[in-house]
A and B are shown apart, each in its own frame.
Chain A
Amino acid sequence: MSDDLLYRPAREIADLVRSRKTSAAEVAKAFLERIRATDDRLHAFISVGEAPKGAAEGPLAGVPVALKDNLCTLEAPTTCGSRILENYRAPYEATVVTRLRAAGATIIGKTNLDEFAMGSSTENSAFFVTRNPWDLERVPGGSSGGSAAAVAAGQAAAALGSDTGGSIRQPAALSGVVGFKPTYGRVSRYGLVAFASSLDQVGPLARDVRDAALLMSVLGGHDPLDATSLPGPSPDYVKDLERDPKGMRIGLPKEYFADGLDPEVRARVMEALRRLEAKGAKLVDVQLPMTRHGIATYYIVAPAEASSNLARYDGVHFGHRTASPASLVDLLSRSRAEGFGPEVRRRIILGTFVLSSDRIDAYYHRAQKVRRLIAAEFEQAFKSCDVIAGPTSPTPAFRVGEKASDPLSMYLCDVYTVGANLAGLPGLSLPCGFTSKGLPVGLQIIGRVKDDLTVLQAGRAVERELGPSGKRPPV
């Protein structure tokens, strides 16, 4: 029973709990046991929760959900994978966490991430490196690598992540689960520790698209505590999920299939899309020539916003403080140097550089203009298609340490994902098969702004055609 439970979809677990065939406590115990048995190899969790008492009701009744450790909770530390927040206890709870609890979910633990969500491999955590459940020598992707690995390994039925440049979709692809970055503003950011506020978005990682839609029905909707939250009603992601792909126009940007794409990734992605074509979807060519400038634009805008957001870590109000500071500047400079890891320091330096008064026009202001061109180019492409599809990541999971000494090569992992963040678009990654080495491959589907539903519908149509892989990671 319990082993079977670990790989059940969240909606089925909720059904079992609601119909009293099992209890939230029993479910939680099975998952906590799984975490105990596997996490010394995976290192997906920074802190682990407890089994709940009493009956659970609601759409996620008794569903064990893991939270990326940059979402504020009251009962556990919120570390962001950083020494500077190692002992930080948030005085308030993120809106998404409140919504999960109200829907009956169990918070099963908080997961590892690249420090402050800066990275694509979860190697930048100050605490430990999370491993890919499909091959422990490889990374799970990042920055929501702990959440992706936990869902893939049956340690949690679903998880939340945050996506600033691909940090939900890329680890979902590399770990063989579904990851959804909603339209910017669709899900509240209140209580998400800020990295780059104009790009950050919270979203679900799940076993399949149906579960991702179920989580969206709980997470989505306006939040008065987040000034960037979208007003107006949310779509019914669950009821309207099934859609015949006949006539659906799927745009394939040739720039997403260019040099640098692993041939096996290309093959799996195209096979999945051909299945949809066989069901009557139309594959159309679209142009996104600005794709090649996406990384450059992102790595100006994101570090600039990060250098500003991370100014709050001052060794005064909360977080790490250096011992015996000689002056205020010394207090600030040493507390921050001791508390932040190398990648965060690098991005603060980069962000401060591009915002400095003699550089701001050449870098930051120019990048904001290019960002407008990128958004306009997507808008133009969506005149001839309903969704855009391609690979989520140019390669399958890479080896631990492979890109660690070359930050730029790590940044280039995000080439297909940063566009959706810069333009605020919804983006989904779902599994579409494996390489010959048994590593998962992710298909990405991007939609028009606020058209989250069509993205999920297209993903669900692919999922229906491919059927379950029937594979479980060897961990």
Chain B
Amino acid sequence: MALDAAALRKIAHLARLELSETELQAYGPQIGAILDHIGELRKLDVEGVEPLAHAVEIADVRRDDVPRPGLPPEAALANAPAVAGPYFTVPRILDQP
């Protein structure tokens, strides 16, 4: 089941990942071959089987509620590609022309 360019473009947009025309051409058949392989699971009878999300199931894990230092703002911002004061910056998202 090869993915056509339109379908790939839609998925790439959902993933916020720009794909070039060359990549759209190359990924179609590659991902198609992988989908053919993973599609084999459709032949299995899984009626009534509970899904398994985590192999070792432990739930509701809590730490003692003891305050401890968090990441200081300087450390949190240290790797940011663009900052303004204590903020991360992004292109304008409101009132776009």
Task: Check if A and B associate.
Answer: yes
Query: Among A156-164, A328-336, A433-441, which stretch is in contact with chain B?
Result: A328-336
Residues A366 and B46 in contact in the complex (CB < 8 Å), given A346-B27, A349-B11: yes
Contact with B41, one of A88, A183, A297, A326 (Cβ below 8 angstroms): A297
Instruction: State whether the Cβ of A227 lies closer than 8 Å to any Cβ in chain B.
Output: yes
B63 → A minimal CB distance (Å): 5
Docked complex Cα distance between A199 and B38 (Å) = 18
Docked complex Cα distance between A224 and B63 (Å) = 6
Would B52 and A368 count as touching, CB distance under 8 A? yes
For B71, what are the chain A residues with a Cβ–Cβ distance below 8 Å?
A: 91-92
Would B56 and A317 count as touching, CB distance under 8 A? no
Would A353 and B31 count as touching, CB distance under 8 A? yes
B43 → A minimal CB distance (Å): 9
Q: Count of chain A residues with Cβ under 8 Å from any Cβ of B? A: 77
Would A366 and B42 count as touching, CB distance under 8 A? yes
* A422 (CB) vs chain B CBs: closest residue: B55
Query: Among A23-31, A57-65, A109-117, A371-379, which stretch is in contact with chain B?
Result: A371-379
Chain B 27-46 interface 0/1 with A at a Cβ cutoff of 8 Å (1 = within):
10011011101111110101
Instruction: State whether the Cβ of B4 lies closer than 8 Å to any Cβ in chain A.
Output: no
For B19, what are the chain A residues with a Cβ–Cβ distance below 8 Å?
A: 337, 345, 349
* B8 (CB) vs chain A CBs: closest residue: A349
Prevailing SS type, chain A contact patch: helix
Instruction: State whether the Cβ of A352 lies closer than 8 Å to any Cβ in chain B.
Output: yes
For A231, what are the chain B residues with a Cβ–Cβ distance below 8 Å?
A: 58
Prevailing SS type, chain B contact patch: loop
Docked complex Cα distance between A224 and B37 (Å) = 39
Would A349 and B12 count as touching, CB distance under 8 A? yes
For A295, what are the chain B residues with a Cβ–Cβ distance below 8 Å?
A: 37
Would A367 and B41 count as touching, CB distance under 8 A? yes
Chain A 336-358 interface 0/1 with B at a Cβ cutoff of 8 Å (1 = within):
11001010011011111110100
Chain A 120-134 interface 0/1 with B at a Cβ cutoff of 8 Å (1 = within):
000000000000000
* A321 (CB) vs chain B CBs: closest residue: B81
Would A228 and B54 count as touching, CB distance under 8 A? yes
For A367, what are the chain B residues with a Cβ–Cβ distance below 8 Å?
A: 38, 41
Chain A 231-272 interface 0/1 with B at a Cβ cutoff of 8 Å (1 = within):
100000000000000000000000000000000000000000
Would B12 and A315 count as touching, CB distance under 8 A? no
Residues A332 and B16 in contact in the complex (CB < 8 Å), given A316-B81, A370-B44: yes
Would B41 and A424 count as touching, CB distance under 8 A? no
Would B56 and A230 count as touching, CB distance under 8 A? yes
Docked complex Cα distance between A340 and B15 (Å) = 12
**A residues bordering B, Cβ < 8 Å?**
87-89, 91-92, 183-185, 198-199, 224, 227-228, 230-231, 293, 295-297, 299-300, 307, 311, 314-321, 325-334, 336-337, 340, 342, 345-346, 348-354, 356, 362-363, 365-373, 375, 407-408, 411, 421-425, 449-450
Given contacts A198-B53, A345-B17, A348-B15, 5 further A-B contacts (CB under 8 A): A88-B79, A331-B90, A349-B8, A366-B41, A372-B52
